Amino acid sequence: MKPIIDYIDFRQYMLDYYEDRKRRSAFSWREFSKITGFSSSSYMKVVCDGKSKLSRLGVERVADAMGLTGFEKEFFRAMVKYGQAEDEGAKKSAYESMLAIAKDHKVRVLQGDLFEFYDSWRNPVIRELAPLMPGATPGEIAKKCYPEISAAEVRQSLDFLSRTGLLKKSIDGQLEQAETSVIGTPDATRLALRGMHRQMSTLATPAIDLPKEERNFSGVTMGLSRDTYERIVKELDECRRKVIAIASEDKNIDQVYRLNLQLFPLTRNVKEDNHEEA
């Protein structure tokens, strides 16, 4: 579903959340109401239909149930205030809060430039790194990368990022991000990210030798059914979204990290028939 800052109507956001969950699992209005702590099994539907309001406590319960954290929860609070305001002053104030939060945490949705952006791991890394090194030369930026790359490669990425507006110059001439996050449309993203995942998986191998204070590696080997696999994927999606929200609030960044969430089969399905000829 769309980023929360693309919404103005909190009821529409809740409805889209419900529909998204329902498509991926046997989610119901009863369950939605239950996880938000309301005794009425249809309360969430009543709210989404505009027949009831959310109290201050209800806002927090619903936000927590939908997994909102950081600026996402803050934006949801403002969106509810805007949607339930009874006078123009309160409505205007809430709307201004929404605009301020959206401006601080704007998300760029890539379309035509998506494949080029993800064509090399250098592009997202330099997009994060260059603003942290105001006045640095391409050679100086290159030496900060793991693994070290050439100044020419940095210049190539900087040219692309500037041309597409993913990096821009501030009033004082320093590079800065036009938006906090970059996403793509779902179908296009799946295709473009395959190459990026291959590159990042390769970069992860030498990172094992870094001091344990600078990296975190863990893993578990387990047997799963298809239903359990889907449940775990959902949890990973929620975890990733929360991590992005936490990272977007950091105002004291001093290093660029990559988080890989990987869940993949190590065997074929033992319950599927296999009649390969000898």
pTM, two decimals, is: 0.59
DSSP state of 188: H
Separation in Å, CA 98 to CA 71, 81, 82: 10, 10, 9
Coil, helix or strand at residue 175: strand
pLDDT in tens, 171-209: 888 888 876 666 655 545 565 677 788 899 999 999 999
Separation in Å, CA 177 to CA 98, 123, 168: 20, 13, 6
- Determine the Cα–Cα distance for residues 172 and 183; give it in Å rounded to an integer: 28
Element (H, E) at 259: none
pLDDT in tens, 115-166: 778 888 999 999 999 999 999 999 999 999 988 899 999 999 999 999 888 8
- Determine the Cα–Cα distance for residues 59 and 64; give it in Å rounded to an integer: 9
Min mean pLDDT across 67-81, 208-222, 260-274 is at 260-274
Q: Which residue has the higher pLDDT, 91 or 277?
A: 91
Q: Minimal CA–CA distance to 60: which of 87, 82, 38?
A: 38
Angle between helices 226-248 and 70-84 (to 10 degrees): 80
Q: Which pair of structure tokens corresponds to residue 182?
A: 């970059």
